[in-house]
Chain A
Amino acid sequence: MRSNKVKPGQTRPEPARGSRAAVSPGQVVSYLVLIIWALTTIYPFIWVTLNSFKPKGQIVSSSFSLPIGASFTLDNYKVAFQRVDVGLAYRNSLVISGSVTVLVVILAGLAAYGLVRYVFPGRQWLRNLVVAAMMFPVFATIIPVFGMESAWGITNTDSMLLTWLSIILPQVAGNLSFAIIVLMGYIRSLPVDLEEAAFLEGYGAIRIFFKIILPLARPSFATVAIFVFLWSYNDLFTQMFFLRYKETFTITRLLNEISSQAGTNYGLMAAAVVMAVIPVLIVYVILQKNIIKGLTAGALKG
């Protein structure tokens, strides 16, 4: 996809470009622009965090002041946990996105392995099918999917388990093709020698997958897992279809509810934003290399 002049592993030495002064005016301007954009990215999050600790009135009157002394309050968070039950939403999000992630990783791993290592008629056709599946927008499949699940009786039920199932299944399908493509790229780069050696030891293909491929390809499995989890956690559209009752709401679905129901309770809104962002922020700080790689992998693989 990219220019084929690329030589992997080659890094560019710091070239003597432009002036040799320690800091040229051009560089000052560059950094200025870069820092200003960085501020536009960071500041809104700081602003909303500070305001989530203020009483509602102050958010709309002095939103730039610090929440110190009399203007510091934890009420917004109390409301969030008691009246809206954010804790339950965290649990729902964790169960749903966790299951989606596990299922996608296992199914996609198996399929990618099969598509890379085996030679069989119709292989290229199946690979093209996977690429094509990535192009299907959810808008074009959601209505029949909902109809199908209604016929099976797993939508609009009181059962928590069935509701979970009804959202997990379409989300798994929506992520499979991306995951297969990324994993195929990685498994293909693994040397086949180890698998042959294992075969001589009497291993079958299934055991090879679990004992050799899975451990070796762990970094790319991690990348895929993070991507899928975040996508599922953030995906409002599918959740709007399948999560109808308050007890089943995930964080994202709950946020949407708050934005349409909370009216003028801006403190609650600020607190809700912070609570949705915090878990992702923590994961991001720890795993940002994997995350950036995962989210851009689909694009660069073409």
Chain B
Amino acid sequence: MPQNQTPAGRPDRPALRRARRPARRYSAQAAVYKNRRPLWLFLLPAFTFMGIYLFYPFFRNIVDSFQVIEGLGMPAKGLNDPWYLNYSKMLTDPVMRTAVLNTLLLMLCTLVFQVGMALLLALLVDRAGRGAGFFRTVYFFPIVISATALGLLFNLIFLYDGGMLNQLLQQLNWTSKNIDWKGEKFWFSTMTLPVMWQYVGYYFVIILTGLNNIPAELYEAAAIDGAGPWQLVRYIKWPLLHNTLCTCLTLAITGALKVFDLPWTMMPNGMPLDKSWLTGTYMYKQTMLAKDVDYAGAIGVFIVLLGVLLSQLSQRIFRERDE
């Protein structure tokens, strides 16, 4: 982000502060903003809000994850015994392990298939030249739809008895029996495909913007050198997309940790047989159904740690280049 500012913290001169005439100007700071009294009015409401509803609860949650809380909305009743109880529980909780593994797997799938598909589509649109606007509009549409509605829609599609997919397969005579899409065999793809499908358009738009930012001279130079379409991708588009793809990587990691609505609508309660939990849905279950509120808080802390750790790690590995 460009910052056109005078060095922060420069001491203000009282005389200037009160000046009601076009005083000498210091670079970007206009005379009107010398008087800092109204500043409170601008900053206080938003930051009070964030303080009460984000920063305080965030730290409160960390503290509470070491305490006994007997119900949602109840005050803490002293430390757990031992104080790290919830965290040691997390290590031995087999369902938590499932949830973490599923989340990591979902993350990997989003990276490979979602970003991969988006990259493929963006390169194709870029090459085809026309219709970019149309495809952008169409591909982006599922993102604005509530994931709950999509979950319901996919429930109808993956229905065991007479769902769209089973009907289609039977009409094509590929199978005569109904396939249990939410059963032990297919539950993972049934759960992740809609999540991935929904957000392909998001990465598509980001990558397409990145492609449009590649300067024209590079293409001209490449054309003079006689580069074919594959060489353009390999030697110009791919390297110059590096930073855009890094952004997508971070987004995919943080995005996978936030997934809740779609899996919860399609596979409530970890069906089948506690297999489909994700960190988010499991945290919800511990709060609302199992009523183990402090454990749920600890899971919330864990989600934050996992997100920070993984996005830092990925940035170390695929560091953004400043060419």
Contact = CB atoms under 8 A, between A and B. Distances in A.
Q: Do A and B come from one complex?
A: yes
Contacts of B242: 3
Interface string A16-39: 111000000011001101100110
A82 interface: no
21 contacts: A1-B320, A12-B216, A14-B129, A15-B216, A18-B229, A31-B131, A33-B121, A34-B125, A38-B138, A44-B157, A59-B162, A110-B46, A111-B47, A118-B39, A119-B8, A133-B55, A140-B58, A176-B49, A180-B46, A206-B38, A259-B152
| Max chain A C-beta neighbours (<10 A), residue from B58, B141, B243, B303 | B141
B213 A110 contact: no
A6 B322 CA distance: 12
Give the most central of A26, A41, A260, A269: most B CB within 10 Å.
A41
B151 interface: yes
Given A30-B124, A144-B60, A204-B38, A269 B152 contact: yes
Given A26-B229, A236-B261, A302 B36 contact: no
A42 interface: yes
Contacts of B260: 236-237
A280 B47 contact: no
Nearest to B46: A111
A99 interface: no
Given A44-B153, A48-B153, A205-B32, A60 B162 contact: yes
B74 A291 contact: no
A178 to B, nearest CB: 12
Given A140-B58, A141-B57, A5 B323 contact: yes
A81 B299 CA distance: 39
A121 interface: yes
Contacts of A277: 145, 149
B167 A64 contact: yes
Contacts, number: 371
Given A1-B320, A34-B121, A143-B72, A118 B232 contact: no
Interface stretch (A72-80, A195-203, A214-222): A195-203
A173 B49 contact: yes
A137 B135 contact: no
A87 interface: no
B8 A302 contact: no
Interface stretch (B79-87, B183-191, B197-205): B197-205
Interface in A269-291: 269-270, 272-273, 276-277, 280-281, 283-284, 288, 291
A110 B45 contact: yes
A240 B10 CA distance: 48
B105 interface: no
A291 B145 CA distance: 12
B102 interface: no
Contacts of B58: 136, 140-141, 144
A38 to B, nearest CB: 5
Given A30-B124, A38-B138, A240-B284, A15 B32 contact: no
Chain B: interface size category: 35 or more
A14 B149 CA distance: 40
B288 interface: yes
Interface in A42-59: 42, 44-45, 47-48, 51, 59
B156 A48 contact: yes
Interface of A: 1-7, 10-18, 26-27, 30-31, 33-34, 37-38, 40-42, 44-45, 47-48, 51, 59-64, 107-108, 110-111, 113-115, 117-124, 126, 129-130, 133, 135-151, 155-156, 169-170, 172-174, 176-177, 180, 185, 188, 192, 195-196, 198-200, 203-206, 208-209, 230, 233-234, 236-237, 240-241, 251-252, 255-256, 258-260, 266, 269-270, 272-273, 276-277, 280-281, 283-284, 288, 291-292, 295-296, 299-302
Interface string B36-70: 10110111011101101111111011001000010
Contact of A255 (B138, B149, B228, B320): B149
Contact of A234 (B33, B72, B147): B147
B147 A15 contact: no
B98 interface: no
Given A41-B139, A272-B152, A1 B52 contact: no
Contact of A121 (B8, B149, B197): B8
B57 A148 contact: yes
Nearest to B323: A3
B141 A155 contact: no
Contacts of A149: 73
Contact of B156 (A15, A169, A237, A269): A269
B258 A137 contact: yes
Contacts of B270: none
Nearest to B240: A3
A259 B6 contact: no
Contact of B265 (A122, A180, A259): A259
A234 B258 CA distance: 14
Nearest to B53: A173
Given A48-B156, A192-B28, A119 B33 contact: yes
B293 interface: yes
B73 A196 contact: no
Interface string B151-187: 1111111010111100110010000000000000000
Contacts of A121: 8-9
Contacts of B192: none
Nearest to A93: B146
A81 to B, nearest CB: 17
Contacts of B139: 37-38, 41
A4 B1 CA distance: 12
A115 B43 contact: yes
B309 interface: no
